[in-house]
Amino acid sequence: MSDANHTQTPTGHAVIQGFLKTLDASPGVYRMLDQKGAVLYVGKARSLKARVSSYARPTGHSPRIARMIRETASMMFLTTRTETEALLLEQNLIKQLKPRYNVLLRDDKSFPNILVSKEHGFPQIKKHRGAKREKGDYYGPFASAGAVNRTLNQLQKVFLLRNCSDTTFESRTRPCLLYQIKRCSAPCVGYISDEDYDQLVRDAERFLRGRTTKVQEKLAEDMQAASEAMEFERAAALRDRLKALTYVQGTQAINPAGVAEADIIALHLDGGQACVQVFFIRANQNWGNRDYYPRTGAGADAREVMQAFIGQFYDDKDPPRQLLLSDAIEDADLMAEALAEKAGHKVEILVPQRGEKKELVAGALRNARESLARKMSETATQAKLLKGLSEALDLDGPPARIEVYDNSHIQGTNAVGGMIVAGAEGFLKSQYRKFNIKDTELTPGDDFGMMREVLTRRFKRLLKEDPDRQSDAWPDLLLIDGGAGQVSAVHDVMCELGVEDVPMVGVAKGVDRDAGKEEFHRHGGRPFALRRGDPVLYFIQRMRDEAHRFAIGAHRAKRAKAVGATPLDEVPGVGATRKRALLSHFGSGKAVSRAGLDDLKAVDGISAALAQTIYDYFHDKG
C-alpha cells in the first residue's frame, strides 16, 4: 500500500517562490498559512510581488521570520486600490484572525467621554460610553471611568450643572441633596434662570476645551463685583467655585502648555514581552493614561510592535491631531494619511527629540517600563500558583485556561449563570460570560438544573465553533461551585457531549461553611482538602469568590432591568426620548396602554402614525 496519503504538504521558501508568477506590483494584503490552513501571518505590501519575493529568499531573515517561512504551506492574496487601503485591511484582518506571528492588541476596550447633553432645555452633564447618538457635545476620550468621575466631580463643584436624568428632573418639587452640598444650581425647581444656567454650560464647555484662563478671570471678576455690591453669600459661592477650579488644575499630574491635543504612546520591550503606555492630552490637560500588553508575534521589534499597535488601537477610535511616539514606525506617512482620512483632520506622527514633547514621552516610557516590570513579576507568581494547582489537583500540567462557574438567583427568579476565566495573566475579564437561564421547565432554585443548562450551552457552542480544539478557547480545568451533586450533574453533561476528558473539580464550602475548610470533589473519587494556609487554596478561593461576585453582579443587573421595565419597551418606534415623553405625559406605562388614540396624538413628539402604532400594539393583540 502506498504511503502517499501520509506525505506532508511541502512548506518553506520554495513554496512561496511558486506564488510569484501569479503576482504583479499591485498593493494589497497577503496571508501565510500552515499545513492545517491556520493563518500564521497577515501583512500588507506596496507591491505584493516585491514583498513575497523577499520571503522566497532562502537566507537573510530574522529568526522569527525564518521560523514563519519554514511553517508556511500556502498563501492567500487580496489586492487593493491603494497602500492606505491595504494598511487598514491588514489591521482589520489581524484583529479578526489573531495570527501567531503578528503583533496583536489584546485588550481593546472603548473609552468613556463626558457628554454635555442638549436633549433638554437645561443641559445635563454626564459620563458616556459607546456610540455617540445622543444630541450634545462630547469631550474625551478619558482613560478610565475613574478619570471621568474625578473630572465630573470637580466640574459639578465649579459649574453646578445637573447630572440627574430628564425623568427625575421633571418629577422634582424640591431641590435634591446635590443643591444642598453646592454641587448643582437646582434648575429643576427654578432656583436659576435659563440665561444664567446657559452661561454655566458655556463656562463648563470652555473649561473642557482648555480655555480655563478665561473662566478663571470671569469668576474672579464676578466675585469682586459681588463683594463690592455687598452680596457676600454670592461672593462666597463664587470663591468656592474658583477654589474648586484651581484644585482641578492642580491635581492633574501633567498640564502641558505646548501640547493642546495629543496621544503620547510609549513602548517598552523586555524578554519578548511588551508594554505600551498611552496618555491622553486634551485641552492642554491630562485626561488619564492606560497600559496595554500587546502580544509581540513571537518577537517582533519595536518598530513593528508600535506600528501594529497604532493601526489596531485607532481602528475604532478617533485619533487626535498629534501622536507623540517613543519609537519610529515603518510607514509613518502612510499611517498619518490613513488616520487623517478616518478623523477628517490632519494627524501628525512625531518622535520628539527635545523640549516638552520629549519630556512627555520620557514620562510615559518610565510608566511603561515600571508597568511591565510589575506585570512580569505578577506573571512569575501566577506561573508558580498554576504549577502548584496542577500538582494539588493531579493535572497533566499547569492549566493555561481555567473556567469557574457559579449561579445566582433569589428563590429561582432572575436566575443567571456566571463563568469567569483565569490563566497565566490572572483574571481574563474580557472572556467572562453570563448565561440568562432560559429553561422554563426548571423548578425555581434548581441549582443542578441551572448548572446543567449553563455547561450544555457553553460546550455546545465550543464544539460548534472549534470541534478540533485548535483555539485557546478550550479550558484545561473546570472549577464548579458545589459538591458531589453539582459534579455529577456536570459530568453527565460532559459525557453527553463527548468532552469528558476536560478535568473538572467541585469546590464545596466544607465544615461550617468556613473558608479554609473547603472540600474538593472529583467524579468517582473521594472528597479531599488542602492544608490551611496553602497558597494554592487561597488561589482557588480567590477564583471562586470572583465567580460569585460576577454571577451576583449579573443577577442584580437583570433584576434591576426587570424592575425598570415598562410595557413601552417592546413598542416599535418608541425609543428612550419618546418613552420619556409618554411616561411624563401619562404618568405610567399602564396609563399609556389604556390611553385613547387622540390622547396619544396630543403627546409632544408623537406623530399621528406613531400614535396609531402604539394604540394598535396595546389594543390589537387578539
* In the block, residue with C-alpha cell 457628554: 115
For residues 111-135, average pLDDT? 89
In the prediction, which pLDDT does 1 show?
41
Is residue 83 in a domain? yes
Q: Based on the fold, state whether residues 304 and 191 are members of the same structural domain.
A: no
In the prediction, which pLDDT does 4 show?
44
Q: For residue 64, is pLDDT > 90?
A: yes
Is residue 395 in a domain? no
Q: How many domains does the chain have?
A: 5
Q: Based on the fold, state whether residues 447 and 480 are members of the same structural domain.
A: yes
Q: Based on the fold, state whether residues 123 and 204 are members of the same structural domain.
A: yes
In the prediction, which pLDDT does 348 show?
96
Q: For residue 443, is pLDDT > 60?
A: yes
Q: For residue 605, is pLDDT > 90?
A: no
Q: Based on the fold, state whether residues 367 and 484 are members of the same structural domain.
A: no
Q: For residue 621, is pLDDT > 50?
A: no
Is residue 89 in a domain? yes
In the prediction, which pLDDT does 562 show?
62
Is residue 393 in a domain? no
In the prediction, which pLDDT does 249 show?
58
Q: What is the dihedral of CA 348, 350, 352, 356, to 10 degrees?
A: 30
| Coil, helix or strand at residue 515 | coil
For residues 189-210, average pLDDT? 88
| Coil, helix or strand at residue 228 | helix
Q: Based on the fold, state whether residues 606 and 461 are members of the same structural domain.
A: no
In the prediction, which pLDDT does 430 show?
86
Distance from C-alpha of 177 to C-alpha of 23, rounded to nearest angstrom: 71
Q: Based on the fold, state whether residues 299 and 418 are members of the same structural domain.
A: no
Is residue 13 in a domain? yes
Question: Which of 206, 229, 251 corresponds to the end of one domain?
Answer: 251
| Coil, helix or strand at residue 448 | helix
Q: For residue 224, is pLDDT > 50?
A: yes
In the prediction, which pLDDT does 622 show?
40
Q: For residue 240, is pLDDT > 80?
A: no
CATH code of 596's domain: 1.10.150.20
Q: Based on the fold, state whether residues 532 and 595 are members of the same structural domain.
A: no
Q: For residue 458, is pLDDT > 70?
A: yes
In the prediction, which pLDDT does 136 show?
92
Is residue 524 in a domain? yes
Q: Based on the fold, state whether residues 609 and 509 are members of the same structural domain.
A: no
- pLDDT level of residue 248 (50, 70, 90 thresholds): low
**Measured between alpha carbons, how far is residue 105 from residues 97, 267, 292, 299 in Å?**
12, 13, 8, 14
Least confident of 8-12, 392-396, 539-543: 8-12
Distance from C-alpha of 443 to C-alpha of 448, rounded to nearest angstrom: 10
Stated pTM of the model? 0.72
Residues 6+ apart with CB under 8 A from 193: none
- pLDDT level of residue 2 (50, 70, 90 thresholds): very low
Q: For residue 39, is pLDDT > 70?
A: yes
Q: Based on the fold, state whether residues 577 and 498 are members of the same structural domain.
A: no
Q: Based on the fold, state whether residues 433 and 542 are members of the same structural domain.
A: yes
Residue 427: beta bridge partners? 422
**Listed residue (262, 57, 240, 61) closest to 159, CA to CA:** 240
Q: Based on the fold, state whether residues 72 and 130 are members of the same structural domain.
A: no
- pLDDT level of residue 432 (50, 70, 90 thresholds): very high
Please, what is the end-to-end C-alpha distance for the chain in angstroms? 71
Q: For residue 566, is pLDDT > 70?
A: no
In the prediction, which pLDDT does 285 show?
83
In the prediction, which pLDDT does 3 show?
45
Running DSSP on this structure, what letter comes out for residue 287?
E
Summary mean pLDDT of the chain: 87
457 close to 435: Cβ distance less than 8 angstroms: yes
Side-chain half-sphere of 227: how many Cα atoms within 13 Å? Answer: 11
Q: For residue 354, is pLDDT > 80?
A: yes
- pLDDT level of residue 250 (50, 70, 90 thresholds): low
- Averaging pLDDT over each range in 141-145, 350-354, 523-527, which range is the top one? 350-354
Distance from C-alpha of 460 to C-alpha of 458, rounded to nearest angstrom: 6
324 close to 361: Cβ distance less than 8 angstroms: yes
Provide the residue range defining the domain that includes 55.
Answer: 4-97
* In the block, residue with C-alpha cell 498563501: 75
Q: For residue 230, is pLDDT > 70?
A: yes
- pLDDT level of residue 564 (50, 70, 90 thresholds): low
Dihedral over Cα of 506, 512, 515, 518: its sign: negative
Q: Based on the fold, state whether residues 16 and 73 are members of the same structural domain.
A: yes
Question: Which of 202, 221, 251 corresponds to the end of one domain?
Answer: 251
| Residue count (the chain) | 622
Which carries the bigger pLDDT value, residue 464 or residue 5?
464
pLDDT digits (tens, 9 = 90+) for 68-90: 999 999 999 999 999 999 999 99
Distance from C-alpha of 213 to C-alpha of 209, rounded to nearest angstrom: 11
105 close to 296: Cβ distance less than 8 angstroms: no
Dihedrals phi, psi of 202, to nearest 5 degrees: -60, -40
Running DSSP on this structure, what letter comes out for residue 621?
-
Is residue 225 in a domain? yes
In the prediction, which pLDDT does 221 show?
86
CATH code of 24's domain: 3.40.1440.10
Is residue 104 in a domain? no
Which carries the bigger pLDDT value, residue 147 or residue 325?
325
Distance from C-alpha of 245 to C-alpha of 252, rounded to nearest angstrom: 12
